[in-house]
Structure 1
């Protein structure tokens, strides 16, 4: 964020939206999934069975059953 002109503004907006100003911040289908605090992989990893449904709902996977 230090290398782009509006990095501070982006971090401020992330803080407003998510409570986190750090990057990365991951959104799927407009939903905040998590950030670099490690909870992203604990809560939404493929093994937990939550990632594919979120991606399918967002239209990022055409046929979820083909991905399993």
Structure 2
């Protein structure tokens, strides 16, 4: 394996970054998740309780899921899933979503 085997070319990185931004802009609530992740399930349950529609991008079902997760890491400072965006802003992961909901702040963000 070459030293560049785990790195994306700058062209590929730009295309994937644009794709991630398109996903984030595609809906008021966007969740980048993995089906087996308990924190992803937690975040989705919170939005389901609020009857809030969201777009889910399931990373392990995509050929470019690892690349997307790396780009999300660069954008948000964390590679962990879920990466939850509301109105284009990353609000964190599952525990963050639950905490915002418990404080009543999540509802305000969704209605903004």
Q: Is the 8 A contact 1:28 1:55 kept in 2?
A: yes
Counterparts of 2:98 and 2:104, CA distance in 1? 11
**TM-score, normalization by structure 1:** 0.66
Of 73, 78, 92, which residue of structure 2 is paired with 1:20?
78
By relative contact order (CA 8 Å, sep 6+), the higher-ranking structure is 2
- Number of equivalenced pairs: 54
- Higher fraction of helix: 2
Asked if 1:35 corresponds to 2:90, the answer is no
Q: Is the 8 A contact 2:81 2:93 kept in 1?
A: yes
- CA-based RMSD: 1.5
